[in-house]
C-alpha cells in the first residue's frame, strides 16, 4: 500500500446540513435549539 493510500482524511467529520430556521439561516443544524431541531425533523416535503 502506498503512503497516499494509507493516509486517510475525514475520520469523524460529519456532513454540514444547512436549513432555514424561521426566515433566515443559521448554519448547520447542530446550532439549532431542541425545539427547532424537533420541528426540522418533522418537516414533510410539499409536492408541487
Partner 1 sequence: MIFTVKKRDGREMPFNIEKISDAIIKAFRASGELSEQIKASQDQLDLLGHEDLLTSTALKVSAYAVGRLEAEGKNKPDIEEIQDAVEKALTECGYGVTAKSYILYRAERTRVREVNTRLMHTLRDITFSSAKESDLKRENANIDGDTAMGTMLKYGSESAKHFYTMMMLKPEHSRAHMEGDIHIHDLDFYSLTMTCCQIDLIKLFKNGFNTGHGHLREPKDIRSYAALAAIAIQSNQNDQHGGQSVPNFDYAMADGVRITYRKAYLSNMVKALMLFTGKDEEEILPLVKKLHAEMAEMGMVATLVPNEKFVEAEARELSKTYEIEMVMKSQKFAEKQAFEETDKATFQAMEAFVHNLNSMHSRAGAQTPFSSINYGMCTEPEAQLVMKNLLLTTEEGLGGGETAIFPIQIFRVKEGVNLNPGDPNYDLFKLACRVSAKRLFPNFSFQDAPYNLQYYKPGHPETEISYMGCRTRVIGNNYDPSREISYGRGNLSFTSINLPRIAIKMKSVDLFFKELDRMLQLVSDQLMERFAVQSKRKVKNFPFLMGQGVWIDSDKLGWEDTVGEVIKHGTLSIGFIGLAETLVMLTGKHHGESEASQELGLKIISHMREFCDKESKRLGLNFSLLATPAEGLSGRFVRMDKKKFGNIPGVTDRDYYTNSFHVPVYYKISAFKKLSLEAPYHALTNAGHISYVELDGDPSQNLEAFEKIVHHMAKVGIGYGSINHPVDRDPVCGFVGVIGDVCPRCGRSEGHAISLEKIEELRKKFPGMPAFRGIR
Chain contacts with partner 1 (rule: CB under 8 A): 2-27, 30-36, 38-39, 42-48
Min separation Cβ 40 and partner 1, Å: 8
Residue 27 grid coordinates: 448554519
Closest separation between CB of residue 30 and partner 1, Å? 7
Distance in Å, CB of 3 to partner 1, minimum: 8
What residues are paired with 25 via a beta bridge? 20
Distance (Å, whole) CA 34 – CA 22: 14
| CB 17 within 8 Å of CB 28 | yes
Amino acid at each position: 500500500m502506498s503512503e497516499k493510500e494509507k493516509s486517510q482524511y475525514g475520520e469523524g467529520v460529519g456532513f454540514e446540513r444547512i436549513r432555514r430556521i424561521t426566515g433566515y439561516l443559521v448554519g448547520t443544524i447542530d446550532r439549532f435549539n431542541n425545539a427547532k431541531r424537533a420541528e426540522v425533523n418533522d418537516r414533510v416535503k410539499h409536492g408541487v
